Structure 1
Amino acid sequence: MDLPALIEALRRVLPERERIALHEPEFGLAERQALLDCLDSGYVSSIGKYVDRFEQELAAYTGASHVVAVVNGTAALHIALKLAGVEQGDEVLMPALSFVATANAATYCGARPHFVDSEFTSLGLDAAAMDEHLRHVAVASKEGWRNRETGAPLAAIVPMHTFGHPVDLDALVALSERWHIPLVEDAAESLGSVYKGRHTGRAGRISALSFNGNKIITTGGGGAILTEDAKLAERARHITTTARVGRGWTFQHDEAGYNYRMPNLNAALGCAQLTRLPAFVEEKRALAARYREALHDVAGLKFVAEPADTCSNYWLCAVLLDEARGSTASASCELRDAVLQATNELGIMTRPAWDLLHTLPMYADCPRAALPVAEALARRLINLPSSPQLGRV
């Protein structure tokens, strides 16, 4: 890999600064005014006009019929899995290449992650590989498909739109329908991404978004549940509000709920950020186009572009290094780390993909398929600085 050429290409794309962050939020007067208005109202917790407004505006942007705003993306995915029917002792099929929250959300339901492979095109779940894996590991029962090796029900499929690139939803929906296993989208990274003309997060019965500080827009901490099902939305709203039932001046609770609703203060920030989302998407796509052009002739790597028939928000731009000479895993990891060290020493913040979930100590014993692509991505992929403001010319 031509490291000097890579650094020169990055210098042509990026501004001259002492340090360039991987992804940082941007706030202006609108955000300040919304927060001050919220503070002046006195409604800063889970009740207030901004919570309702944020849900309505997010529904309008994504096209989802119902939106329930919650405290973070992990909480959103936890509730989405719970409402999809995931229970204690189940297994949830998910990519090994994902942020830890995907696996944690299943764990909160008392279920175990079941890791499957990714594809190079979208970096997300490989439907064909999962289908082959299910033919080997799944056995039919009266209650549905079970893992023949563990006996656990296979309760859900959770694709994640890696770095904002939409996964092959047509293939995964067909897989879900063929195996009668519910599809729950982890759309945490893909606000503003579109698959065949439809916003991500709308392929299954329910999905989750994130508005963490490093996402394309932020509410500080925050997430949302998207669904087309009115009953699921009503149920989500109830259990994320501590299952509270208002009776006059008293409050009763009819089950063990969760204190997961988004505070009005966070929603106020979100409303202001939503007005800037179209511009953020445009700027991030412009940055991706500049990276792609600058890196085109750099030997030994490929810019990770959006899959066909999609419009990615390019939440995090990335390059995929060629396998190191000799094609050994350790050699490729050493090459990746050399690039990371050189760029970070220059103040250009780059980072590798997450540690594969099955390599984490709490998930090391979870069931998994063969993971050749995920393992290759983990040792070869590098994320580049991707803040929207970097895309402004």
Structure 2
Amino acid sequence: MTKFKNTISFIQDTFKTREFIPLHQPSFSGNEKKYVLDTIDSTYVSSVGAYVNQFEEMIAEISETRHAVAVVNGTSGIEVALRLVGVESGNEVLTQALTFVATANAIAYNGATPVFLDVDMDTMGLSPQSVENFLNEFGELRNNGCFNKKTGKRITACLPMHTFGFPVHLDELLKVCTKWKIPLVEDAAESLGSKYKGKATGSFGEAGVFSFNGNKIVTSGGGGALVTNNSKLGISAKHLTTTAKKPHSYEYDHDELGYNYRMPNLNAALACAQLENLDLFLNKKRSLAKKYEEFFKQSSLKFRTELPETKANYWLMCVELENLEERNEFLIETNKQNVMTRPIWKLMFNLPMYSDCYRDDQVNARFLEDRIINIPSSVI
């Protein structure tokens, strides 16, 4: 008998199988095949097509923003968003070390350096207090922006990530960023459908970016979307991601360094069908989260739930173990029983390419790194 036998049995009973239970698999219960076949019949399978436009309209409505730009993945969307808010080579960007590597990579793609600040224990996302503490110690406001007075580098963005769909403390973070004149870009890759004080994540900063990878709550196979309420930024984002090509019926004229980052119509068709069922997916996930919450009340494991005044999409559900040893034991036992579980990510500064980046004490991030595990979270 294993220590976590009851938990494993509960998950197997909930998903009604003793076979392999994935962490998160897509649910195709709507018009996915119909729309994808429609793109094939139309021959418009690449980055031009009606479904790309429809997808952008749907995402703008869901995210409560004026502009949405379809891109090939969330990472590319963050890369472009950072460039558009002014991030350049040699700059610094404030972010969290407890995140998926794409967050840090998007900063590096712009030639900038991540500054890793601690997360809040309750959100697992970038802590406004950590940002304020860093800026009070190292920040210096000049006529042309905020600078790190120790390194001399300009701080050109703040990039929080809504971990597993749980919104960060956005009001407090925005207050700090406004005070120090630093643009906020939301890495909302995991938080489609999440809300903070009744307002959609992705709509608070200068820009927000969602991911539609195969394991997300809504998938396009591979894809992302950059959203913004800034019309100039939205227009520029579409231009840059379409190789910066100037409109013309036949000439190839490009006016700046652009990217071939537009989402293909084939992927957009899949995403449109998925988005039609977003509310259904969200409701089913909340139902699963409620079952987990009730079960883990009788357990030593702590199930992570949304905070007051927020509504999480519960993309990947997670539990907190007592310590690293128990975490590892849980991972071994569950996976041995075909119940897929995964630890939270390694802290970014523990990866070789980011080992020299500044980090603060990371007390909360280190605690969570040793204890947080994702459990099966598929729509059922």
What TM-score do you get using the length of structure 1 for normalisation? 0.94
| 1:315 alignment partner AA | W
Q: Kindly indicate whether residue 157 of structure 2 is the aligned counterpart of residue 166 of structure 1.
A: no
- Shift in Å at residue 237 of structure 1? 0.5
- Shift in Å at residue 8 of structure 1? 4.2
Unaligned runs of 5+ in 2: none
Helix, strand or coil at the partner of 1:315? coil
Please tell me the root mean square deviation across aligned C-alpha atoms, in Å. Answer: 1.4
Distance 2:247 2:141 in 1: 44
Q: Deviations over 1:280-325 (max 9, x none)?
A: 00011111110000111112x2110011101110000001112xxx
Q: Paired residue for 2:255?
A: 254
- Report how many aligned residue pairs link the two structures: 379
Q: Paired residue for 1:289?
A: 290
Pairs within 5 Å for 1:238-277: 238-277=239-278
Distance 1:378 1:159 in 2: 17
* Percent identical: 48
Distance 2:173 2:316 in 1: 23
| 2:118 alignment partner AA | D
- Shift in Å at residue 334 of structure 1? 2.2
Q: Paired residue for 1:351?
A: 342
Helix, strand or coil at the partner of 1:253? coil
Q: Which moved more, 1:137-146 or 1:3-12?
A: 3-12
- Shift in Å at residue 246 of structure 1? 2.9
Match of 2:358 among 367, 370, 386: 367
Q: Paired residue for 2:185?
A: 184
- Shift in Å at residue 226 of structure 1? 0.5
Helix, strand or coil at the partner of 1:130? helix
Pairs within 5 Å for 1:131-210: 131-210=132-211
Are the equivalent residues in 2 in contact too, given 1:31–1:273 (CA < 8 A)?
Answer: yes
Distance 1:9 1:38 in 2: 42
Q: Deviations over 1:165-194 (max 9, x none)?
A: 111111111111111111000000000101
Q: Deviations over 1:215-259 (max 9, x none)?
A: 000001100011001111110010100011133322211111100
Distance 2:44 2:13 in 1: 47
Helix, strand or coil at the partner of 2:225? strand
Q: Paired residue for 1:326?
A: none
Q: Paired residue for 1:339?
A: 330
- Shift in Å at residue 138 of structure 1? 1.8
Q: Deviations over 1:120-174 (max 9, x none)?
A: 1111111112211221122333432222332211111111100001111111111
- Shift in Å at residue 204 of structure 1? 0.8
Distance 1:281 1:336 in 2: 28
Q: Paired residue for 1:69?
A: 70
Pairs within 5 Å for 1:212-231: 212-231=213-232
Helix, strand or coil at the partner of 1:204? coil
Distance 1:248 1:70 in 2: 23
Unaligned runs of 5+ in 1: 323-331
Distance 1:127 1:59 in 2: 27
